[in-house]
Amino acid sequence: MNEFDIIARFFAPLAGDGAFGLKDDVAVLPQRPGHDLIVTTDAISEGTDFFAFDPPGTVAQKALRVNLSDLAAKGAEPVGYLLNLSLPHSIREDWLAAFAAGLAADQKEFGIALLGGDTGATEGPLSIAVTAFGFVPSGKLVKRSGARVGDAVYVTGTIGDCGGGLAIFKRETHSLTDADRDYLTGRYRVPEPPVGFAKDLRDIAHASVDVSDGLIADLGHIASASGVRIVVEGEHVPLSTSLKSLWKGDAVARAATAGDDYQTAFTAPPGLSGPFTEIGKVMAGEGVALTMAGNEIVITKPGYRHF
Ligand code: ADP
Ligand code: MG
């Protein structure tokens, strides 16, 4: 198989409107009157963001979903993506077939299509870069910089599950049931960004961020962009029962700094209810603090860093 065979066989069936069946040099991006086109990119690589033994379909889903998470956090609806693959020479057809099936499943789930990409060989680890496009009504993008003193802090989903799954893959000792273990490792492999919530988010949020490096680290981006202080009340951080079984008394502090969540954290007026949990307050000042029963917990590492 050369790269043209790979493109024609595995990726052309996924091509959307404007992609010319992946048989031209470029694609035409669809436009939506009255909307801003939003773009984001994120790459994942073997050994850093996924394991060589992960099923290829879940690797595909993770590559897409880490990008859909950024769009969701900004209130954008996804429409399409570019796929840039650096493949080892030893790549097998059955790996590519399962990878493409994972893309197809998520294209259906999220209503998106493939618009183009690049396919090349590498001597290094397998790496997948996705560039995703989405729309928001003009001017309605939710930024990191809009938090106001007096806002509450909210987060979607549960926090720390993916970090827990990673800890299990890294052979941290535990006494979980098979169901708890499978839930956490499943979340590490296939994150669940709140894509459907984006349209409501943009109506209520003053500021928002994609939680990818760690809840505390990412809220730090809102705090610095908005010029405010954020206090997270640890007892309110939503944790799954599986994660509490894994990390017990350390669960909050570890979950809040673990990363890989791909949820949306945002600030908005206090007292709102919806598919999210109120976890803290926006105050005058700077930085992010995590408290338990009113006492600040010392955090040495607020989130994941590549370097
Ligand atoms: P170029 O010679 O400009 O690099 P390619 O031969 O790489 O072009 O690509 C041919 C077509 O196939 C283009 O439409 C490109 O967007 C598409 N394509 C290449 N690789 C991928 C991929 N991994 N996923 C989706 N489309 C791809
Ligand atoms: Mg190319």
| Beta-bridge mates of residue 153 | 267, 280
Query: What does the pLDDT average to over 34-54?
Result: 97
Q: Is 286 in the pocket of ligand 1 (CB under 6 A)?
A: no
Rounded Cα distance between 279 and 263, Å, is: 14
Q: Which three-class secondary structure state does DSSP give residue 139?
A: coil
Q: Which of 62-71, 134-143, 298-307 has the lowest mean pLDDT?
A: 298-307
Kindly indicate the confidence band of residue 255, based on its pLDDT and cuts at 50, 70 and 90. very high
pLDDT in tens, 102-153: 999 999 999 999 999 999 999 999 999 999 999 999 999 999 999 999 999 9
In this model, does residue 291 exceed pLDDT 80?
yes
Kindly indicate the confidence band of residue 1, based on its pLDDT and cuts at 50, 70 and 90. confident
Comparing CA positions, the residue from 37, 40, 18, 15 lying closest to residue 29 is 18
Cα 217–Cα 220–Cα 223 angle in degrees, nearest 5: 170
Task: Note whether 73 and 41 are within 8 A (CB).
Answer: no
The residue whose C-alpha atom lies closest to atom 3 belonging to ligand 1 is: 25
The residue whose C-alpha atom lies closest to atom 20 belonging to ligand 1 is: 118
| Beta-bridge mates of residue 283 | 229
Q: Which three-class secondary structure state does DSSP give residue 268?
A: strand
Best residue for ligand 1 mutational test, from 119, 128, 131 (most atoms within 8 Å of Cβ): 119
Residue 39 has a pLDDT of: 98
Query: What does the pLDDT average to over 211-222?
Result: 97
- DSSP state for residue 247 in the 8-state scheme: H
CA of 27 to the centre of ligand 2 (A): 13
Residue 156 has a pLDDT of: 98
In this model, does residue 302 exceed pLDDT 90?
no
Average pLDDT taken over every residue of the chain:
97
Residue 126 has a pLDDT of: 98
Query: What does the pLDDT average to over 207-218?
Result: 97
Q: Is 72 in the pocket of ligand 1 (CB under 6 A)?
A: no
Residue 8 has a pLDDT of: 97
Cα 170–Cα 73–Cα 275 angle in degrees, nearest 5: 85
Kindly indicate the confidence band of residue 307, based on its pLDDT and cuts at 50, 70 and 90. confident
Rounded Cα distance between 232 and 96, Å, is: 43
CA of 118 to the centre of ligand 1 (A): 4
Kindly indicate the confidence band of residue 306, based on its pLDDT and cuts at 50, 70 and 90. confident
Burial pattern 122-157, b for ≥16 Cβ within 10 A else e, equals: eeeebbbbbbbbbbbeeebebbbebbeeebbbbbbb
